[in-house]
Amino acid sequence: MSPVFLAGLVAPVAVAALTALVGMAFGAGWALAVLAPGAAGIVIYHLWNLHLLARWTRASSDTAVPEGRGAWRIAFSDLYRRVRLRTAYQRDLAHTIERFTSAAEALPDGMVVLDAANRIRWANAHAQRLMGLDLARDVGQALGNLVRQPEFIRYLDTGDFIDAVVVDSHRDAGATLSIQIVPFGVEEKLLISRDITRLEAVTRMRRDFIANVSHELKTPLTVVSGFLETLQDLDLEPRQRTRFLRLMQEQAKNMQRLVDDLLTLSALESEQNALTETTFAVMPLMLELSAEAKALSGGQHTISLDVGPDGDAGATVVGARDELASAFGNLVSNAIRYTPAGGTITLGWHVGEDGSGRFSVADTGIGISVEHIPRLTERFYRIDRSRSRATGGTGLGLAIVKHVLLRHQAELDVASDPGAGSTFSVVLPAARVRRVAAANATAATVAPTSS
């Protein structure tokens, strides 16, 4: 017999025994007088505890189990133990769920849980952002109603989830998503979405690059092979022959330049090619560049130097001198090529307040419209194809500049006014620039020269 039953029996047995004793001693009347309050007491005791139990079941779930007396104390304490176990179990469960949810939330990919009818059950923050969902009101909404790309709807409808589907985001123009569905559990599906915009961009760039290189090589090759054919088939006058040979040589040089630039770019890009840094003085480099510019211009432009006061002229830079010289040289040759005869090209060097160095090339050339500026450093990006090729550009110059600057943590800053000229500036970080004490610098200062 259970302890509760035995404990519960104590009071009724006691009342019965007392009633029997009193009945035998004083008669039935007295016995009744004992029995009635005794029985009433027992009933009230049970009813009261029953009331406590009923009140507890209705109260909020974290209310403590009531404490009773006698048999009820045993029952209540059993109940208390059970509640405690259940609470601990639930807490564990909630904790586990929370851990899984926060793990899913922390994943770098978007996750959506779908039911059998492709309605949204849950989504992590990434998925909400990528696919424009709002979990607060979209639970139960068919996902296809909000992610409406035809490719995605077809993917959902066919139910063939072996491969992922790639869709262009409607929410974020230019973004590309890769979406994969994985069925799990009973008819449920897990959708994983990933932003592959950058990956796509790289693939596209590679494709474009190869197409561009082929095109750039093909043009001079066509010219060369055309002339070769003519030279073979026709008996030409010596003067014409020389002219054709000269044109062929020009085209061959173009190809040579392009291949050289491509090799430079790939050398700059390759990881193994570590930066060989030296500390070099800026002023000699500026003079070299200015001499180079004068040679390139052939006296058609005014070349001037603009070097900041005192310390600027004596400043030294830490970096790969060859690379920086070729990058600066590229900017200078661009300036000359895009500035009509009679224009002015100013090479500048200034050390800023914050210690950063600014190398600049300002021209009075044709200038560049705003919309082209962000794309200038793209390989083979040309604003005006005919012009660029006519001036002997490979389309890779600024791409090389960008790579060199990247290796030096420097930035390219382009300001331009169409028709009035452009200024290309290279901003070298303060860590790479040393300003020599003013005393030494004065000696190194060179007055602006002009051709």
Partner 1 sequence: MTEHTHKQFDAEMEAIRSGVLSMGGLVETQLARAIAVLDENEDHAALDQVGAVEQQINQMQMTIDQQCSQVIAKRQPAAIDLRMILTVTKIVNDLERVGDEIKKVAYKATQTRGAAPLTRMRAFDVVRAAQHAQSMLQMALDAFARLDVAAAAEVIGRDEEVDAAFQAILRQLISYMMEDPRTITSALEIVFIAKSIERIGDHAKNIAEAVVQVVKGIDVRHASAEQIRAEVAEE
> Which positions touch partner 1 (CB under 8 A)?
132, 137-138, 141-142, 144-150, 152-153, 168, 170-171, 173, 369, 371
Instruction: Assess contact for 282 and 237: CB atoms under 8 A.
Output: no
As measured in angstroms, the least distance from the Cβ of 146 to partner 1 is 6
Q: How far is the CB of 168 from partner 1 (least distance, A)?
A: 6
Nearer to partner 1, 145 or 219 (CB): 145
CB of 424 to partner 1, least distance (A): 22
CA–CA distance, 307 with 190 (Å, rounded to integer): 63
Using DSSP's 3-state secondary structure scheme, residue 411 falls into strand
Least CB distance to partner 1 at residue 147 (A): 8
Q: Are 40 and 107 in contact (CB under 8 A)?
A: no
What is the rounded CA–CA span in Å between residue 371 and residue 374? Answer: 7
- Report the run of H or E that residue 151 belongs to, with start and end: helix 150-158
Terminal Cα distance for the chain, rounded? 118
Whichever of 140 and 309 has its CB closer to partner 1, that residue is 140
Q: How many residues does the chain have?
A: 451
Q: How do beta strands 302-307 and 344-351 pair?
A: parallel
Nearer to partner 1, 173 or 274 (CB): 173
Least distance in angstroms from the C-beta of 204 to partner 1 = 10
Question: Would you say 92 or 134 has its CB closer to partner 1?
Answer: 134
Nearer to partner 1, 243 or 375 (CB): 375
Angle at 285 between CA 417 and CA 408, to 5 degrees: 70
Q: Whole-number minimum distance, CB 154 to partner 1, in Å? A: 9
- Count the Cβ atoms, other than its own, within 10 Å of residue 399: 24
| Minimum CB–partner distance for residue 258 and partner 1 (Å) | 25
Q: Decide if 82 contacts 98 (C-beta within 8 A).
A: no
CB of 179 to partner 1, least distance (A): 14
3-state DSSP assignment of residue 148: coil
CA 97 to chain centre: 29
Mapped onto helix, strand or coil, the DSSP state of residue 176 is strand
Nearer to partner 1 by Cβ, of 62 and 371: the residue is: 371
Of 149 and 423, which has the nearer Cβ to partner 1? Answer: 149
- CB of residue 137 to partner 1, shortest distance in Å: 6
Place of tokens 């996750």: 111
Distance (Å, whole) CA 17 – CA 174 = 93
Q: Which residues pair with 307 in a beta bridge?
A: 349
Pick between residue 151 and residue 160 the one whose CB is nearest to partner 1.
151
Long-range pairs, 141-149, Cβ under 8 A, ≥24:
142/117, 142/118, 143/112, 143/114, 143/118, 143/119, 143/191, 144/118
C-alpha count within 13 angstroms, C-beta hemisphere, residue 420: 3
Shortest Å distance, C-beta 309 to partner 1: 41
Closer of 200 and 411 to partner 1 (Cβ): 200
Distance separating alpha carbons of residues 169 and 193, to the nearest angstrom: 11
Looking at the Cβ atoms of 82 and 207, the one nearer to partner 1 is 207
